[in-house]
Amino acid sequence: MGFKEQIDTDRLPGHIAIIMDGNGRWAKSHGKFRAFGHESGVLSLVDIVEGCLDVGIKYLTVYAFSTENWSRPAEEVNALMELLISTINKEAETLNRNKVKLNAIGNLTSLPQKCIDDLANVMETTSGNDRCTLTIALSYSAKWEITEAAKRLIAKVQSAELTPDEINEDVFASQLTTASLPDPELLIRTSGEYRISNFLLWQIAYTELYFTETLWPDFRKEHLFEAIVDYQRRERRFGKTSEQLN
């Protein structure tokens, strides 16, 4: 029996986040340039979106490009940006056909104007879709996001729109780029690295973490289903005891 058949559809994680890691190492192992790994990684993302649709995952958020990635060689960054633009345009029709809404988070104004325009266009044309929301984190950093949220709250206090005592977890979360999304219940990181890399630090306070040795270009639906099965075998206590849950 495959992993898909083991999934309990009544206990699905509503939101899955993925750190898509290992493109460069995968390309190197195949004797190719890093850009080839990123291109192959797009095929993995398409397959994982299909996997989410297959089992009914409502929210998928993927870490595509961090603020730290800007420090990579210009050739690789430029190739990534060109790949992003072509992929967005190429997959727009497929997203609409499958009722997938495209969303993006991060310091988007730092992206090339062509990326910004194409993102905005596809986000607009898919805005009415409600089967699954695919959020792409671009030029994203959790520390940047939290810092920007704090700045906005300070401005609200200074303008007397808020008092300091009115600021609580919900109010703070409303200023994050993920304000319209539920917190992830499962975070997957590929390629055998065991760190979060500045991704959704606020949002994953109680998220289940799943690490796999599989490099992202090799990650497919069956790997996703295996991660979901592993998630469903865990007891999520949120600070309570097992006896309290039972």
Catalytic residues: 21, 69
Please state, as a whole number, how many other Cβ atoms lie within 10 Å of the Cβ of residue 51. 21
Q: Could you give the CA distance from residue 212 to residue 219 in angstroms, rounded to a whole number?
A: 9
100-105: strand order across its sheet: 100-105, 132-140, 59-66, 15-19, 186-189, 208-211
Look at the block and give the residue holding tokens 């949220």.
149
Q: Could you give the CA distance from residue 227 to residue 134 in angstroms, rounded to a whole number?
A: 18
Crossing angle of helices 221-232 and 34-55, rounded to 10° = 50
Task: Give residue 188's Cα distance to chain centre.
Answer: 10
Which two structure tokens, joined as six digits, stand for 36? 């080839």
Q: Could you give the CA distance from residue 222 to residue 3 in angstroms, rounded to a whole number?
A: 7
Task: Confirm if 180 and 46 have CB atoms less than 8 A apart.
Answer: no
Given phi > 0 = left and psi -120 to 50 = alpha, else beta, which region is 242? alpha
